[in-house]
Structure 1
Amino acid sequence: MSQQTLLQELNSRIDYYSTRTDYPLRRILIGYRAYAKLMLCSAFSDEVINSAIDPNKRKYKKLKIKVTKDDDQLDLE
């Protein structure tokens, strides 16, 4: 899966869950390979890098990012 389609999938999931559920989203769970692919996309990487100096506190669309050991995991909590 290319990084642009992966970014579109992530954005569509965030939009879907934020509009359809009453449960507030807290963080994004991203597998390490999916994270590497997303960081190649300039729209994602610019927002993530500029969100915080500390890599453990970086955010995308005001949601914390948690990088996991799974290859291509892409989930929301």
Structure 2
Amino acid sequence: MSETSLLNELNATIEYYVNRNGYQPTRIILGYKAYSSLMKDKTFADEVNNSAVNPNKRKYKKLKIKVTKDDYQLELE
């Protein structure tokens, strides 16, 4: 799966969640392989790396990121 298509899927999922529920999700749950693929995308990596000094508190679009043991998990909470 390419980084760009995964990033587009993530952005579309966030947009759908907001349109459906009327509010932002609290966090993004990503599998470790999905996170690794997304970090290869420059725009995603720049935003995440500049969001916090502590790697455990990184954010994308002001949403907390939680990395799991699943391969390509992509969920919103």
Write the mapping of 1:29-40 to structure 2, written as runs, cut at 5 A: 29-40=29-40
> Which blocks of at least 5 consecutive residues in structure 2 are unaligned?
none
How far apart, in 2, do the equivalents of 1:4 and 1:24 lie? 22
- Give the TM-score taking structure 1 as reference length: 0.96
Q: CA RMSD in A?
A: 0.9
Identity of aligned residues (%): 62
In the other structure, the counterpart of 1:72 is 72
Letter in 2 for 1:21: N
Aligned length: 77
- Give the TM-score taking structure 2 as reference length: 0.96
Letter in 2 for 1:25: P
How far apart, in 1, do the equivalents of 2:58 and 2:6 lie? 19
Moved over 3 A (4+): none
Letter in 1 for 2:73: Q
Please report how far the alpha carbon of residue 19 of structure 1 lies from its aligned counterpart in structure 2 after TM superposition: 1.7
How far apart, in 1, do the equivalents of 2:44 and 2:12 lie? 14
